[in-house]
């Protein structure tokens, strides 16, 4: 809600400043200066880090508002920002009708975080069906027989599980519910997958940070968060059984292994699923996050500045990604994305042509 | 010479008329704005009423995946948190008002009154963050288990288990406590004003008869201002119904009917705040959110109208 107001205010302030500058000097400045983006909270840490490093090299500064994927799409459709960001791929028809180009920017993993007093959550093992049944309200206690059966040697307390989920519309929720809906038929039929769903159990907290806070605040807390938030907050993240039957720990390597299985070749708009891939070391809940930019930008220079920023990130963003546990797109995909940027045109010509 | 006063009075009339016109326009603008808001809310939300009928009001569903919407959880959550907040805040607010008007030494009245009024100046987002990060853990570990133990004798009513839910910290009860603190200054201030209207003669008459403070309060003061006291309380209720930011933090945001006071639920304002950013233009979801806004407007309107009515009756009595 705040963001809406801020955006409008900022937009009008910027328009006013531009008008004053033009009338005073009589010259339209070519430099964008500041580019604005809004949307997914999932990649917010890496975008912010990249922006910091990019600005340090003399690039434009980026103002990224982590307001949630749903709001990001709305903002770019209303053209109140230079680019929108969403963890959910927008349907091809909608991209076409809104004249938007969508491309993946980076890949991340969603993990389960827990707070069980007296238990090392990192050593705990969970399966997809158990996670689904916790959110369906069928598994209610930490010492439920289905959990103790796969955790011999761990003394789980008779403590109620307190599931938490995202209250706001969120791409993290979409990646996560797509995963559990794909392995649990009851979850698929009763809840389904989407940015916001009709949860059967648990409490809703605002944002990744809110869910992390709810888990930390509650004895028996349980929830899903983007991995960077879990590591930043030193949360305990259980192992999850993957499609090959192995219990894997969340790690950048496990996310990369899943990303390598994605079928990019047959994906319209490069929208792929990386959930529940086959492979002994694959983490089961992984997804790319997307950027949306108008194909007919009102200001070609600003659109060029956005593409230039992501071009820089594709070339130089790897150390920051490693540090924050994100996975860079495969090199071949980055090349495909750069080729697609030619569709962003102003006055009939591409606004930005990446160097070879 | 003789025309001068006339001219002056004509000019005076002109100024007076202009002044009146400006005031009249200002008053009408408020009415027109209110009407316009109501019409636009209904106009934007009528698709939801068309699709689900009047049943939209009592349908217990909110499922964005299947595009099924209903207002029951939101209406129940809004009314339950607001009334519970009222029950918690009323005795305290009245107590503060009574202390300020009757018992408190004169030099202390100012500072205590200001302190209570300062509660109204705290931004609601601050209440929300305090409720989520400070109050919720205390609720979860201390207050809720204690209440569960002490109130275990309450028999469940249908599917409602009073204070026997899982103590997760956020939910209907915590939202009510935060709301109670937020409406406390309004109830205290309105009650103080009402108590001050009790005729001094009546009270002195009571004391002259040898009545105690308690007897004067229950036998003289309260009967004299009863209606107005209800009005003061309903003003607080009007504020609680629409509170958004603080409630969104602590209500638990579950679009389901609560099965205990500890259960997470949702209010109309919290659902709109959470779901509005993702509602596409022209979608059924957006229409349903506008329909919720319309319902909240109507409910708030009637609550405030009732408050006005009670206040006026109190004054006439």
**Which residue in A70, A192, A204 is closest to B264 by CB distance?**
A204
Residues 6+ apart with CB under 8 A from B2: none
CB contact under 8 A, B64 and A198: yes
**pLDDT band at residue A22 using 50, 70 and 90 as cut-offs:** very low
Best of B168, B262, B282 to disrupt the A interface by mutation (most A CBs within 10 Å)? B168
CB contact under 8 A, B264 and A168: no
Which residues, listed in sequence order, are joined to residue A160 by a DSSP beta bridge? A141
**HEC secondary structure over chain A:** CHHHHHHHHHHHHHHHHHHHHHHHHCCCCCCCCEEEEEECCCCHHHHHHHHHHHHHCCCCEEEEEECCHHHHHHHHHCCCCCEEEECCCCCHHHHHHCCEEEEEEEEEEEEEEEECCCCCHHHCEECHHHHHHHHCCCCCECCCHHHHHCCCCCCCCCCECEEEEECCCCHHHHHHHHHHHHHCHHHHHHCCCCCCCCCCCCEEECHHHHHHHHHHHCCCEEEEEEHHHHHHCCCECCEEECCCCCEECCCHHHHHHHHHCCCCCCCHHHCCCCCCCCCCCCCCCEEEEEEEEECCCCCHHHHHHHHHHHHHHHHHCHHHHHHHCCECCCHHHHHHHHHHHHHCEECCEECCCCCC
pLDDT at A215 over 90: yes
Q: Number of C-alpha atoms within 13 angstroms, CB side, residue A148?
A: 11
Phi, psi of A153, rounded to the nearest 5 degrees: 90, -10
Please tell me whether residue B252 adopts helix, strand or coil conformation. strand
- Tell me which residue has tokens 């005031």: B23
Instruction: Provide mean pLDDT across the span B190-219.
Output: 88
Q: Give the residue on A whose Cα is nearest the Cα of B255.
A: A198
Of residues B5 and B187, the one with the higher pLDDT is B187
Q: CA-CA distance, A168 to B273, in Å (whole number)?
A: 8
CA distances from A148 to A122, A161, A201 (A): 15, 14, 21
pLDDT of residue A103: 95
Q: CA-CA distance, A169 to A167, in Å (whole number)?
A: 7
CB contact under 8 A, A218 and B275: no
10 Å CB burial of residue B130 (0-12, 13-18, 19+) is: middle
CB contact under 8 A, A196 and B64: yes
Between positions 106 and 145 of B, the ones with CB within 8 A of A are 132-133, 136-137, 140-141
pLDDT at A14 over 90: no
Lowest model confidence (mean pLDDT) among A187-201, A309-323, B212-226 = B212-226
**pLDDT band at residue B158 using 50, 70 and 90 as cut-offs:** confident
- The fraction of chain A above a pLDDT of 70, given in percent, is 91
Instruction: Provide mean pLDDT across the span B215-228.
Output: 85
**pLDDT band at residue B180 using 50, 70 and 90 as cut-offs:** very high
pLDDT of residue A179: 96
**pLDDT band at residue B229 using 50, 70 and 90 as cut-offs:** confident
Q: Is A79 left (phi over 0), alpha (psi -120 to 50) or beta?
A: left
pLDDT at A15 over 60: no
pLDDT of residue A267: 82
pLDDT of residue A4: 39
**pLDDT band at residue B314 using 50, 70 and 90 as cut-offs:** low
- Tell me which residue has tokens 């010479």: B1
Best of A196, A200, A212, A219 to disrupt the B interface by mutation (most B CBs within 10 Å)? A196
**pLDDT band at residue B39 using 50, 70 and 90 as cut-offs:** very high
Structure tokens at A130: 């158990």
pLDDT of residue A270: 86
Chain A interface includes B254 (CB < 8 A): yes
**Which residue in A70, A204, A217 is closest to B277 by CB distance?**
A70
pLDDT at B317 over 60: no
Which residues, listed in sequence order, are joined to residue A112 by a DSSP beta bridge? A224
Residues 6+ apart with CB under 8 A from A338: A311, A314, A354
pLDDT per position as a tens digit, A280-310: 999 999 999 999 999 999 999 999 999 999 9
Q: CA-CA distance, A145 to A127, in Å (whole number)?
A: 13
Instruction: Provide mean pLDDT across the span A323-344.
Output: 91
CATH 3.40.190.10 fits A110-262, yes or no: yes
**Separation in Å, CA of B264 to nearest CA in chain A:** 6
Which residues of chain A have a CB within 8 Å of the CB of B248?
Answer: 167, 206
Structure tokens at B153: 């004798």
pLDDT at A277 over 60: yes
* Cα-based angle B128, B132, B137 (whole degrees, multiple of 5): 150
**Which residue in A71, A197, A204 is closest to B64 by CB distance?**
A197
CB contact under 8 A, A203 and B244: no
pLDDT at A9 over 70: no
Q: CA-CA distance, A3 to B273, in Å (whole number)?
A: 12
Q: CA-CA distance, A350 to A296, in Å (whole number)?
A: 10
pLDDT at B255 over 80: yes
Chain B interface includes A87 (CB < 8 A): no
CB contact under 8 A, A191 and B65: yes
pLDDT at B114 over 60: yes
pLDDT of residue B9: 58
Q: Which CATH architecture has domain A9-107+287-350?
A: 3-Layer(aba) Sandwich (3.40)
pLDDT per position as a tens digit, A153-212: 999 999 999 999 999 888 889 999 999 999 999 999 999 999 899 999 999 998 888 899
Structure tokens at B192: 């103080």
Which residues of chain B have a CB within 8 Å of the CB of A8?
Answer: none
Closest by Cα among A45, A102, A58 to A321: A45
Q: Is the pTM of this model over 0.80?
A: yes
**pLDDT band at residue B11 using 50, 70 and 90 as cut-offs:** low
Buried b (16+ CB within 10 A) or exposed e, A256-273: bbbbebbebeebebbbbb
CB contact under 8 A, B65 and A217: no
**pLDDT band at residue A142 using 50, 70 and 90 as cut-offs:** very high
Strands A221-226 and A162-166: parallel
Lowest model confidence (mean pLDDT) among B12-21, B32-41, B282-291 = B12-21
Instruction: Provide mean pLDDT across the span A30-53.
Output: 85
Q: Is B277 in contact with A67 (CB distance < 8 Å)? A: yes
**pLDDT band at residue B306 using 50, 70 and 90 as cut-offs:** confident
Closest by Cα among A276, A203, A210, A185 to A68: A210
Which residues of chain B have a CB within 8 Å of the CB of A68?
Answer: 277-278
pLDDT of residue B10: 61
CB contact under 8 A, A199 and B132: no
CB contact under 8 A, B264 and A167: no
Strands A100-115 and A83-86: unpaired
Which residues, listed in sequence order, are joined to residue A294 by a DSSP beta bridge? A100
Please tell me whether residue B192 adopts helix, strand or coil conformation. helix
Task: Report ipTM for this prediction.
Answer: 0.82
**pLDDT band at residue A105 using 50, 70 and 90 as cut-offs:** very high
Q: Give the residue on A whose Cα is nearest the Cα of B60.
A: A198
Chain B interface includes A8 (CB < 8 A): no
Give counts: helices (H), strands (E), chain B: 13, 2
Pick among 1.10.390.10, 3.30.420.40, 3.10.580.10, 1.10.3720.10: CATH of B55-316: 1.10.3720.10
pLDDT of residue A7: 44
Which residues of chain A have a CB within 8 Å of the CB of B278?
Answer: 68-71, 73-74, 168-169, 195-196
pLDDT of residue A168: 87
- The fraction of chain B above a pLDDT of 70, given in percent, is 95
**Separation in Å, CA of B282 to nearest CA in chain A:** 12
For chain A, what is the mean pLDDT?
87
Closest by Cα among A288, A334, A296, A308 to A100: A296
Domains in chain A: boundaries? 9-107+287-350, 110-262
Chain B interface includes A193 (CB < 8 A): yes
Q: CA-CA distance, B144 to A209, in Å (whole number)?
A: 24
CB contact under 8 A, A219 and B278: no
Rounded to an integer, what is the distance from CA A24 to the centroid of its chain? 42
Please tell me whether residue B300 adopts helix, strand or coil conformation. helix
**pLDDT band at residue A26 using 50, 70 and 90 as cut-offs:** very low
pLDDT of residue A29: 36
Between positions 147 and 186 of A, the ones with CB within 8 A of B are 160, 162, 167-169
pLDDT of residue B8: 53
Across the A:B interface, residue pairs with CB atoms under 8 Å apart total 99
Phi, psi of A30, rounded to the nearest 5 degrees: -85, -30
pLDDT per position as a tens digit, B79-106: 999 999 999 999 999 999 989 888 888 8
């Amino acid at each position: 809600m705040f963001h809406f107001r801020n955006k409008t205010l900022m937009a009008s302030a910027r328009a006013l400043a531009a008008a004053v500058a033009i009338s005073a000097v009589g010259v339209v400045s070519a430099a964008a200066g500041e580019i604005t983006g809004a949307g997914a909270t999932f990649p917010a840490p890496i975008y912010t880090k990249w922006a910091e490093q990019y600005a340090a090299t003399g690039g434009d500064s980026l103002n990224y508002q982590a307001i949630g994927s749903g709001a990001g799409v709305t903002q770019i459709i209303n053209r109140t920002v230079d680019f929108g960001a969403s963890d959910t791929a927008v349907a091809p028809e909608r991209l076409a009708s809104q004249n938007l180009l969508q491309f993946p920017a980076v890949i991340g993993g969603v993990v389960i975080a827990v707070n069980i007093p007296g238990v090392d959550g990192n050593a705990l093992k969970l399966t997809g069906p158990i996670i689904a049944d916790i959110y369906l309200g069928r598994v209610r206690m930490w010492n439920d027989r289905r959990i103790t059966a796969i955790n011999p040697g761990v003394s789980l307390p008779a403590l109620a599980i307190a599931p938490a989920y995202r209250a706001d519309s969120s791409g993290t929720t979409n990646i996560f519910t797509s995963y559990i809906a794909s392995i649990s038929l009851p979850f698929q039929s009763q809840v389904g997958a989407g940015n916001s769903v009709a949860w059967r159990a648990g409490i809703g907290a605002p944002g990744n940070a809110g869910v992390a806070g709810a888990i930390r605040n509650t004895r028996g807390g349980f929830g899903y968060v983007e991995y960077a938030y879990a590591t930043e907050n030193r949360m305990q993240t259980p192992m999850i059984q993957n499609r090959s039957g192995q219990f894997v720990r969340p790690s950048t390597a496990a996310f990369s292994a899943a990303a390598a299985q994605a079928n990019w070749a047959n994906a319209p708009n490069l929208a792929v699923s990386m959930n529940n891939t086959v492979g002994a070391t694959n983490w089961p809940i992984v997804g790319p996050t997307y950027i949306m930019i108008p194909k007919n930008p009102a200001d070609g220079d600003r659109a060029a500045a956005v593409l230039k920023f992501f071009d820089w990130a594709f070339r130089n963003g790897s150390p920051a990604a490693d540090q924050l546990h994100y996975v860079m797109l495969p090199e071949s995909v980055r090349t495909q994305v750069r080729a697609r940027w030619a569709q962003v045109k102003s006055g009939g010509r591409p606004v930005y042509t990446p160097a070879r | 010479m003789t025309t001068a006063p006339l001219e002056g009075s004509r000019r005076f009339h002109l100024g007076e008329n202009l002044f009146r016109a400006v005031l009249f326009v200002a008053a009408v603008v408020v009415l027109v704005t209110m009407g316009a808001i109501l019409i636009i809310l209904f106009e934007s939300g009528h698709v939801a009423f068309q699709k689900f009928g009047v049943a939209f009001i009592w349908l217990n569903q909110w499922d964005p995946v299947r595009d099924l919407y209903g207002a029951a959880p939101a209406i129940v959550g809004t009314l339950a948190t607001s009334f519970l907040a009222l029950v918690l805040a009323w005795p305290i607010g009245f107590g503060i008002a009574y202390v300020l008007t009757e018992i408190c030494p004169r030099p202390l009245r100012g500072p205590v009154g200001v302190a209570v009024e300062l509660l109204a100046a705290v931004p609601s987002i601050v209440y929300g963050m305090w409720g989520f990060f400070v109050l919720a853990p205390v609720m979860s570990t201390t207050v809720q288990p204690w209440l569960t133990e002490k109130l275990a004798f309450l028999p469940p009513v249908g599917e409602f288990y009073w204070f026997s839910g899982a103590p997760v910290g956020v939910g209907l009860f915590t939202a009510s406590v935060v709301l109670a603190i937020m409406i406390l200054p309004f109830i205290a201030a309105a009650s103080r004003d009402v108590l001050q209207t009790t005729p001094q003669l009546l009270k002195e008459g009571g004391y002259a008869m040898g009545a105690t403070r308690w007897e004067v309060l229950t036998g003289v003061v309260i009967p004299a201002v009863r209606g107005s006291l209800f009005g003061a309380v309903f003003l607080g209720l009007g504020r609680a119904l629409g509170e958004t930011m603080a409630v969104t933090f602590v209500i638990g945001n579950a679009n389901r009917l609560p099965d205990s006071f500890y259960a997470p639920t949702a209010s109309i304002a919290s659902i709109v705040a959470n779901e509005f950013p993702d509602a596409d233009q022209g979608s059924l979801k957006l229409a349903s959110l506008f329909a919720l806004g319309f319902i909240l407007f109507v409910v708030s309107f009637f609550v405030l109208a009732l408050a006005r009515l009670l206040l006026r009756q109190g004054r006439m009595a």
